[in-house]
Amino acid sequence: MKYVMEVEGKKSARATSLNSPISPRDALEVVRTIKGMKLEKAKEYLEDVISKKKAIPYRKYLDSVSHRKGMGPGRYPVKAAKYVLDTLKSAESNAEFKQLDSEKLVVRSAVAQPAPPIKYYTFKAYGSSGKFYRERVHIQIILEEME
């Protein structure tokens, strides 16, 4: 799988999570929120979302999304935040391997792309069956060291 963005090899680190079983809509809103943040701030924010202290602002998929205090429409996508946090920690460990300063790292690019769904069948009445699809997402995160 190719990365969305090409960057300098010495000043950046990247990580990918393939076929994560989360909603593409939730993943899109989570990565859109952390893009441009410093690494430590992004990790704290995602941990607060997992513990439901802070909400993720929703900007695109607003159908029946409730307003949160002081921010407008938002939700607490705990499962998506966990997978994005794991990918962020993987990118951080890749940066440490490259001997980059973790205090200067910024989330340069964060992308969530829909992956091919998995088809399942469930049993129904009178010997028939119905199909449904399990959504999956590819997550890419690129960290860059700023001066």
- State how far the Cα of 53 lies from the Cα of 42, in Å rounded to an integer: 14
- What CATH number did the domain enclosing 26 receive? 3.90.470.10
Please check whether residue 1 lies inside any domain of the structure. no
Over residues 116-133, mean pLDDT = 93
CA angle, 84 then 85 then 87, to 5°: 65
Please check whether residue 130 lies inside any domain of the structure. yes
pLDDT per residue over 8-41, tens digit each? 668 899 999 999 999 999 999 999 999 999 999 9
Please check whether residue 136 lies inside any domain of the structure. yes
**pLDDT band for position 68 (cuts 50, 70, 90):** confident
The domain of 79 spans: 14-145
Please check whether residue 8 lies inside any domain of the structure. no
pLDDT at 1 over 70: no
pLDDT at 135 over 70: yes
Question: What's residue 91's pLDDT?
Answer: 95
Q: Give the residue, 6 or 32, on which the prediction is more confident.
A: 32
Please check whether residue 41 lies inside any domain of the structure. yes
Rounded to 5 degrees, φ, ψ at 13 are -140, 150
Over residues 43-53, mean pLDDT = 96
**pLDDT band for position 61 (cuts 50, 70, 90):** confident
Domain count, the chain: 1
